[in-house]
Chains A and B, each alone.
Chain A
Amino acid sequence: MAYQQGSFPIVEKKQLTEDVFSFLVRCPEVAAQSEAGQFVHIRVEGFSLRRPISICEVDRDAGTLRLVMQVRGKGTDALAAQKEGDFLDMLAPLGHGFRIPEEGRILVVGGGIGVPPLLQAAKESRGADAVLGFRSAGQVILAEDYAAVCGDVQIATDDGSLGRKGTVVPIVAEKLAAERYAAVLACGPTRMLEAVATAAREAGVPCQVSMEERMGCGIGACLVCACKTRKADGSEDFSHVCKDGPVFDAERVFFKEEGRN
């Protein structure tokens, strides 16, 4: 448990789309401990709960983390209003990230704001291809960043305004049929994760998914961010996204937990 709380300066801010912002935060001690797929928990002045934001990139030499966040409500709106030079109160790094295979290429599959958390994993892998899904061309983020570190990058948009029309799922099936990947890593809407996990299982490729759930403490004490999982002995239990996840083996996750949206 190498997480810590501290205030760290924003050294660079970029607006990626209408409602998605990229922050580079200087936090050497945190960066030294951070792994692909982990998250940071950011305090928002005037709000009772911190906001969990996935780590997009780690630069341990420069001592920085890159965080890409979407404005989803008043809290994230306040966060997005932070400027270069402002400080973020972060509790980080938190959770269990992706396990990157020692050998073999991986396929990373992201949907919407589920795209950023996979970038560091793609960078650290022995080679990666990416399938990225968005609502439309205006929402596309990080396509160039993925192109720089991946062999092949495929884009799907719901309305067909960029790349293939439709979801990422048919592209994932094609990629899995064409190449033997060591792992599939996925992050995005639950329905997408379930479909990707099914495709990976059918292809016999291990799949890891990054789950999301409304969160409290962020460190595993308050037990609110429950995710129904199957334990090694086959029994069912509520795991916790903040501490046991956010990344789980897809085979362990019950995606159809009633009430999920």
Chain B
Amino acid sequence: MADLSVKIAGVTMKNPMIAASGTVGFGQEYGALFPISTLGGISTKGTTLHRRPGNPPPRIAETPAGLLNSVGLQNPGADAFLAEELPRLKQEDLVVIANLAGSTLEEYVAVVEKVSDSDVDMIELNISCPNVKAGGAAFGVSAACAAEVTAAVRKVCKKPLIIKLSPNVSDIAEIARAVEAAGADAISLINTLLGMRIDIRTRRPILRNNVGGLSGPAVFPVAVRMVWQASRAVKIPVIGMGGISSAEDAVEMMLAGASAFQIGSALFADPTCPVKILEDLNRYLDEQGIASVTELTGMVNPY
């Protein structure tokens, strides 16, 4: 059996499969369906300094091969995360990545400072949420802002720092380089692509927020392209996500340049898919005679 372990920014994960933020909560609900330690890591629900109620419903709309969501970072706040969710998660054999967000530079710094003092393994900074007005997405769409928030957070962050990038930009390589220069230990991408759907009878948007973030298989080729472009622009590890729903997709994402991958929306149709993806990944590696999954990273042979 091939070696599935990977090392991202000094943190070893027993396999490269991470559950994506916002789709698994804090792991408890899916833990009733499969051992949550099947995962190499979990990126917890986007957490802010103070609790947030989120957007009014409807918050989800199905699309061809995907879905739009506009949850709006509903979360219990950093204190509740640290007191109620983290201790339970830390008993599991997996890497805990705290996904953090804010509306202002000060809020980003404050939440990172607070969570950085806990025993989370890594911090993933969401500078790309499209669903809240001052939702951090503003930080993710310009290289200068992305670098500014990364540098500010870096000063107070005692954990390996992953910056999660927005796909709603024209030059992903430029942003990736900017956050690397500002001190990021890794980058993850893609967050959701801004989208919209309209009910043709009521002439109202389906989402109460009018617009929302697109995820699922529909975004997969966009994600592969962006991971490829970003990974060629930086030396730090890249965590790839967006539309992965099979081991084949995961391998493709790693060949494009990812050192690890995240699974999000695929859980909704197939809640135990991580178990199958891991089995299939193992089989693929054995069939191909690959000794370590790390041998896939960036090994696409482009024209």
Binding site for B on A (CB under 8 A): 1, 3-5, 43, 47-50, 75, 91, 213-228, 236-238, 243, 257-261
Contacts and interface: CB of A to CB of B under 8 A. Distances in A.
Interface stretch (B9-17, B66-74, B169-177, B291-299): B66-74
A3 B55 CA distance: 28
B56 A257 contact: yes
Central interface residue in B25, B53, B61, B268, by most chain A CB within 10 Å: B268
B45 A223 contact: yes
B33 interface: yes
B5 interface: no
Given A5-B271, A50-B268, A220 B29 contact: yes
A5 B268 CA distance: 12
A7 to B, nearest CB: 12
Interface majority SS (helix, strand, loop, mixed), chain A: loop
Contact of B268 (A48, A226, A261): A48
11 contacts: A213-B58, A216-B60, A219-B33, A222-B25, A222-B60, A223-B45, A224-B57, A224-B59, A224-B69, A226-B54, A243-B29
Contacts of B56: 226, 228, 238, 257-259
A238 B25 contact: no
B163 interface: no
Nearest to B209: A259
Q: For the complex, would chain B's binding face be called helix, strand, loop or mixed by DSSP majority?
A: loop
B202 to A, nearest CB: 7
A15 B204 CA distance: 32
B271 A217 contact: yes
A213 B57 contact: yes
B45 A238 contact: no
Nearest to A215: B60
B60 A5 contact: no
Contacts of B23: 217, 221-222
Interface residues on B, range: 35 or more
A225 B71 CA distance: 9
A4 B33 CA distance: 6
Given A5-B33, A223-B71, A49 B25 contact: no
B269 A221 contact: no
Contact of A217 (B57, B216, B268, B272): B268
Contacts of B202: 261
B271 A49 contact: no
B63 interface: yes
A48 B25 contact: no
B270 interface: yes
Nearest to B267: A217
B62 A260 contact: no
A49 B53 contact: no
B300 interface: no
Nearest to B65: A48
Contact of A257 (B45, B57, B62): B57
Interface string B182-224: 0000000000000000000010101010000000110000000
Interface in B8-34: 22-25, 28-30, 32-33
Most B-side CB within 10 Å, residue of A4, A217, A222: A222
A48 to B, nearest CB: 5
A221 B55 CA distance: 16
Most A-side CB within 10 Å, residue of B29, B55, B270: B29
A220 B63 CA distance: 21
B262 interface: no
Contacts of B28: 221
Contacts of B48: none
